[in-house]
Amino acid sequence: MAAVKLKILVIDDGQDSLDALSSALKHAFPDAALFTSTNGIKGVALALAEDPDIILLDIVMPEMDGFEVCKRLKEDVRLRNIPVVFMTALKPDKEICEKAFEAGAEAFVLKPLELWELTVQVRAMLKIKAANMLQQADHDKLEILVARRTRELAEELAAREKALESLRESEVLFKAVFTEAPMGICLVDSVTGRFLSVNPMLERILGRPMEELARTDWMSVTHPEDIKTQSANLTAFSTGKAKVFQMEKRYLKPDGTPVWVSITAAPLPAFDNANPRFLGMVEDISAGKAAEREKLKLEEQFRQSQKMETAGSLAGGIAHDFKNILTAILSYSDFLLKNPSLNVSGRADVEEIKKAGERAAALTRQLLIFSRKQVLQPKVLDLNQVILGVKTMLGRLIGENIKLTALTSKVPPLIKADPGYIEQVLLNLSVNARDAMPKGGKITLEASIVHMDEAHIHRHGTVEPGNYVLLSVSDTGAGMSTETQSHLFEPFFTTKPRDKGTGLGLSTVHGIVKQSDGSIGVYSEEGRGTVFKIYFPLATGKAAIAEPAAVVKETLTGTGTVLLVDDDSSLRAPIRRSLVLAGFTVLEASSAEEALAVCKRHKGRIQLLLTDMVLPKLNGIELAGRLKSLRPEINVLFMSGYTGNAVLAHGVLDPEKNYIQKPFTLDALTRKTLALCSTCYPSAQSPKTDRK
């Protein structure tokens, strides 16, 4: 048989160095098989394929350095006994030596390599490999001996276990059933009810050690409301009317905490007839009871949500149509009031009609806010400024016997919401707080930035963890019962006398908060006051600066053409009349298709499209987009009471869009129209667009 050749693997990324080393090795070991690689990954693969006797390894290489290559070689069971010699151009310092030791290398050689030194190192490494292999053989032989002795010991132990099986079986069974059972077990005297023995699980359930339980009976640790029920069940059990005793009840821990348990008991044969006993199995069902309560709570919340959604849809639908009617009522009231021939008595009647219409409009707005079908125009707001801005007005509203305090955040609490409706939230909550303190008290408005974790999310129903702006309104009033709080946000629910409130204030607040992507919660105890906490997502950007609406007293006139689009003819008539009286030319259409046709037929310029947002087939926004492509210079003014259409995300209108809320007065519409028509010429100074 031919002698096995020496196998040497060289891994070096430098081709010149690799060539020089190969030449030296061939000269020193002419019969050796030489394998080379220029990177670590291929070098490991080559080592696995060729099983070399020694590996010469460069330290500095791209992708995978020599330390990592050596580590991988030593991790493989087939390669771990192959000696690895590091090659380096620098004298190895302490750090390099430590890393080499950790990687598993056996030696170093310095570049450039001397032939005699290389020969010595290779032969030394071959001796190391031989020693490693001998050591491995001894280790394998020792493992065989250990395994053999282990089997012998196992057989001896098995024989001994078999001899003691009867005794051990009873001990293990008792320990498994009684000591380590996952439910409570007790032995109770049937006559006195005293605990004779309990297992560790029952000790944990009751929160009491066996030493304490041995001095007491089951009645002493049972909830008072459940003692009578258990006594009746035990009577039926002891007289033989029931073969097995079962019930759910509450134990009391030492601190008074109730623990719901399910008990199943059966009689045990006594050592003497004078001491009958029964064995009880006790399962802690507190978690299940809590889950059941949570389920009932969620079901009630779901039913309440459905009820609110149904009521909201109904209210929104009615309010939308009613707003058109109110707009017509208010418009014709304005026409009559502008008639100079109207006598004093008739003018007073018309003014009462208009006041009633305005009250109905306010009620309609509340219905739409509650139903979340109100169109909002959100802006980035500094809640500090909003609170400070309404504080003076609220102070006059709530009276001198109530102290109003405003606490602001050091960091601007920015939210994205409609400023008018946030003011409405503060107004409604403050009025409610005032009514809860007829003898005076304190109201606190506070803005802050808070971080919501998972626990907060579970309690407040926010979408995800993060930073939120908290608006809280607290009072020192009468507080509310749990029953009242459960109905708090329902429409038309009120604890006030019939002539003192509509029951829409808090449902309005709820609608505004939800439509602004917020979350609201209430915390109250009777006699201890109430606090409403509202969480808004923290916004970014620059807060908008509120601009007061301009007051226009002068008679405004203008010129230009307005395309009026609304499917309600009773609403188009007064709008047309008002705009014509103001000097405008008015084109009418009852649908988007008709409006497009009118636009194509009209040869002159159209300054303004005045359109309802909810139209048959095409909606107002889609109509505006098409007309803009035909007449890019045209301005657009949207009008609506609400929209449930998919064209608006959550009923929120882009703040850049021009919009007027129904019902509106004809003067307000005229001012909007004048501001948007480029050819308007007011008789007085041009007004600023009023804020709606």
Model confidence over 176-199: pLDDT tens digits?
777 777 888 888 887 788 888 888
Positive or negative torsion for Cα 150, 156, 161, 164? negative
Q: What is the DSSP letter of 52?
A: -
Residue 507 has pLDDT above 80, yes or no: no
Residue 650: count of CB within 10 angstroms of its CB: 11
Q: Which fold has domain 175-284?
A: Beta-Lactamase (3.30.450)
Does a cis peptide bond (omega within 30 degrees of 0) precede residue 254?
no
Average the pLDDT over 297-322 and give the result: 61
Q: Which of 319-328, 417-426, 446-455 has the lowest mean pLDDT?
A: 319-328
pLDDT at residue 646, rounded to an integer: 33
Please determine, for residue 643, whether its predicted confidence score (pLDDT) is greater than 50: no
Q: What is the mean pLDDT of residues 289-305?
A: 72
What is the structure's pLDDT at 497? Answer: 54
pLDDT band, residue 683 (cuts 50/70/90): very low
Q: What is the mean pLDDT of residues 218-241?
A: 79
Q: Reply yes or no on whether the pLDDT at 220 is more than 90.
A: no
pLDDT (average), residues 231-259: 79
Please say if the pLDDT value at position 254 is more than 80: yes
**What pLDDT was estimated at residue 247?**
84
**Residue 450 vs residues 408, 423, 436, 536: alpha-carbon distances, Å:** 13, 21, 28, 10
Please tell me the distance from the alpha carbon of residue 378 to that of residue 9, in angstroms, as a whole number.
Answer: 73
DSSP secondary structure code for residue 441 in this structure: E
Whether pLDDT at 686 is above 60? no
pLDDT at 183: 84
pLDDT score of 597: 92
User: How far apart are the C-alpha atoms of 308 and 310, rounded to whole Å?
Assistant: 5
Q: Which residues pair with 471 in a beta bridge?
A: 447, 534
Lowest mean pLDDT among 179-183, 411-415, 529-533, 592-596: 179-183
The average pLDDT across 417-424 equals 81
In the prediction, which pLDDT does 164 show?
66
User: Where would I find the beta strands (DSSP E) of 64-219?
Assistant: 84-88, 107-110, 184-189, 195-198
Homologous superfamily (CATH) of 379-537 is: Histidine kinase-like ATPase, C-terminal domain (3.30.565.10)
* Range in 128-142, 398-412, 448-462 the model is least confident about: 128-142
- Output the CA–CA distances (angstroms, integers) from residue 497 to 485, 493, 502, 590, 611, in the order listed: 18, 11, 9, 45, 42
pLDDT at 644 over 70: no
Say which residues have a Cβ less than 8 Å from residue 588's Cβ, sequence separation at least 6.
564, 565, 572, 576, 598
With cut-offs at 50, 70 and 90, classify the pLDDT of residue 647: very low
What is the token pair recorded at 214?
């041995």
Confidence at 565, pLDDT banded by 50, 70, 90? very high
pLDDT tier for residue 227 given thresholds of 50, 70 and 90:
confident
Q: If pLDDT is split at 50, 70 and 90, which confidence band does 444 have?
A: very high
Structure tokens at 85: 């010699």
In the chain, the percentage of residues whose pLDDT exceeds 70 is 73
How many alpha carbons fall within 13 Å on the CB side of residue 389? 16
Q: Is the pTM of this model over 0.85?
A: no
Arithmetic mean of pLDDT, 612-634: 87
**What is residue 610's predicted lDDT score, i.e. its pLDDT?**
92
Higher pLDDT, 622 or 108: 622
Lowest mean pLDDT, pick from 7-21, 331-345, 493-507: 493-507
Is the predicted pLDDT of residue 234 greater than 80, yes or no? no
Concatenate the DSSP letters of all residues of 638-672 into one string.
Answer: EEES---STTSGGGB--TTS-EEESS--HHHHHHH
Q: What is the overall mean pLDDT for the chain? A: 77
CATH architecture assigned to 7-137:
3-Layer(aba) Sandwich (3.40)
pLDDT confidence bin for 594, thresholds 50/70/90: very high
Contacts of 286 (CB under 8 A, 6+ apart): 259, 260, 261
Confidence of residue 145 (pLDDT cuts 50, 70, 90): low
- How many whole angstroms separate alpha carbon 460 and alpha carbon 453? 10
Q: Which two tokens stand for residue 36?
A: 């080379």
Q: What local confidence, expressed as pLDDT, does residue 246 receive? A: 82
* Region label for 372, one of left (φ > 0), alpha (ψ between -120 and 50) or beta (otherwise): left
Q: In this model, does residue 691 exceed pLDDT 60?
A: no
Question: What's the rounded Cα separation, in Å, for the pair 396 and 388?
Answer: 14
Contact call for residues 441 and 527 (beta carbons, < 8 A): no
> Given this model, what pLDDT does residue 446 score?
92
Orientation of helix 569-581 relative to helix 666-676, angle to 10°? 60
CATH number of 561-676: 3.40.50.2300
Residue 32 or residue 415, greater confidence: 415
Give start and end residues of each alpha helix (H) in 239-343: 286-337
Q: Which residues contact 369 (CB under 8 A, 6 or more apart)?
A: 421, 424, 508, 511, 512, 515
